[in-house]
Amino acid sequence: MRLKFLIFLFLIFWFRSLQAQEDEMPVLVDVVETVQTPPSAQPGQFEAAGLLGIRNQAGEVIIPAVYDYLYPEQWATFMLAARDGKYGAIDAHNKVIIPFAYDLLEPTPFWSMNRRIPAEVQTQGIRLIAAKNDVYGILDAAGTAVLPMEYGFIELARMGYFNVQKDGKWGLANRQGEILIPCQFDARISVDIDAGQFIASRDGKWGVLSATQEVLLPFAYDDVQNTGLFYNAIAKDGKYGLWDKKALKVTLPVSLDTLVKMNPRATYWAARKAGRWGLVGPEGAELIPLQFDSIAMPFYGFKNCALVKTGPKAFTVYSVKGERLLPAEYVSIKSYLSSAFIVEDASGKKGMLRPDGSTMLALAFDEIKNGMSRSLFARKGEFFAAFDTTGKQATPFNIKEFTVYSTAVLADGRKLLVGLTKDELPDYTVFDGIEAFDPSFNNFVVSQKKGDVLREGLVYKFRWAAPLIFENVQHIPVQPSRELQYQGIDTDAFVAMGILPGGKNN
């Protein structure tokens, strides 16, 4: 007892001493304001009299404000700059590296701003497109000409390659300054890095060259387009076909009016001929006959089927093997995840069909909307009901409006419709009340009345964190700490009190 009294006296003495110190302390607001770094002295680029300079982390001026342009904007070991209408380059100490004698210095993507890469390595990789007196060249970070100033124009083609023009003809150079393709082509050269090939135009016709300038595809086409890893689309006299990059041969003859790649691996192509659409393979096989008004694919989640239009406001679905999947035509077809199609008939009623054509929801609803990944909602008249992904009804038609969150659905303002895993509850449980505590709505204190007793519990994501057996569950905002982690929640603590009769404390 005496020890407690002594501790109490010590605390009173300590508190009063703090008050006395506070009374004697000067006002610190002005002092703090004077030692803070003013906004104009923050590190990095600053402006004075309309000109740019650089300050270091201590707020000291290391590059005076005498430049019209500085790149990069942050403090770096190498900066492009402009002064008096001319471009050059400086280092971090304002030493001129490249004289201010150029009408243009354009950085290229080889200049990495990744600060994990040593500055000297970054500097070695710099290539600058330079222009002076209407001639172009390429410089390195020291201002040395990698490609001499003798070209009419230079621009970046792809990473590591430059399109160069001389006397109205185009060629290709690499970043080492080597001319890979001489300036003798009509247009800019397209670089296919993956195949190691180059699409070029000569005498008004297009073809494909190898890195050694060997002609791989003759210059006989009106257009050649790189469509990905496997094929080039080729065009002649308004017709289209395909050329295999690896086999170096035409696999689909130039005979189609339109050709559109429909998947990344280029195994399906939408094709049009004589005004009718279908699906063809790269070897020319008709996967879906060319007899429809239009064709589109893929549906979300469906990689091997296509939506086809059979007439005015009439759609159905075919597999890429040409098999018809749906038994009838519909005015609208949409995909639901990768498990079903939402269809609408001519009367405006909506339903759901599985990929094999079987009925998941009958054509009897005014509206169907997605819920979470495991739910959907269908409306009849004024009210919605919830259904699971098999089409089984989970609630009555008594939901007027709802909002979908990442882990739950909030229905009619205060009711929570949530899917829980591990068979703790049915897929859909409607609670009488809800209180959510984080922006992503992962934590819910839920309540449900059973008879005259209101029970509360805690739902975290898709599982129970505290069972629905408590009189009260309170939320306590806390700072993250290892001691307060609860079911993986380290930014909130929840206190559950008063286990109800018949409840079980888990």
- Give tens-digit pLDDT for 266-280: 888 999 999 999 999
Report DSSP state, residue 114: -
Tell me the average pLDDT across 167-194: 95
Task: State yes or no: pLDDT of 166 exceeds 50.
Answer: yes
pLDDT (mean) for 205-213: 95
Distance in angstroms between the alpha carbons of the first and the last residue of the chain: 39
How many whole angstroms from its chain centre is CA 504? 46
At 480 the pLDDT is 45
In angstroms, the CA 324 to CA 395 distance is: 34
Supply angle C-alpha 146, 150, 153, rounded to 5: 90
Total-model pTM: 0.69
| Burial label, 93 (beta-carbon count in 10 A; 0-12, 13-18, 19+) | exposed
CA atoms within 13 A on the CB side of 357: 11
Residue 262 half-sphere exposure toward CB, CA atoms < 13 A: 26
Q: Is the pLDDT of residue 109 over 90?
A: no
User: 120 versus 506: which is more confidently predicted?
Assistant: 120
Q: Does the pLDDT value for residue 504 go beyond 50?
A: no
As a whole number of angstroms, the distance between CA 233 and CA 81 comes to: 43
pLDDT band at residue 490, thresholds of 50, 70 and 90? very low
Cα separation, 332 vs 400, whole angstroms: 25
pLDDT in tens, 345-357: 999 999 999 888 8
Sheet holding 249-256, edge to edge: 223-226, 231-236, 239-244, 249-256
Q: Which of 55-59, 126-130, 298-302 has the highest mean pLDDT?
A: 126-130
Report the b/e string of 7-43 with b at 16+ CB within 10 A. eeeeeeeeeeeeeeeeeeeeeeeeeeeeeeeeeeeeb
User: What is the reported pLDDT for 335?
Assistant: 85
Radius of gyration of the chain (CA): 35
- The pLDDT tens digits of the residues spanning 315-350 come to 999 998 899 999 889 999 988 877 789 999 999 999
Q: Where are the domains of the chain?
A: 193-255, 257-365, 431-506
Given this model, what pLDDT does residue 412 score? 73
Q: Between these two residues, 367 and 438, which has the higher pLDDT value?
A: 367
Give every CB contact of residue 482 below 8 A, 6+ residues apart in sequence. Answer: 490
CATH fit for domain 257-365, picks 1.20.120, 2.60.40, 2.40.128, 1.10.287: 2.40.128
Q: Of residues 444 and 202, which shows the higher confidence score?
A: 202
How many angstroms separate the Cα of 310 from the Cα of each of 95, 269, 328? 71, 18, 10
Specify the range with the lowest mean pLDDT, choosing from 101-110, 146-155, 291-300, 403-412.
403-412
Mean pLDDT over the full length of the chain: 80
Which helix (H) or strand (E) element contains residue 16? helix 2-24
| pLDDT surpasses 90 at 172 | yes
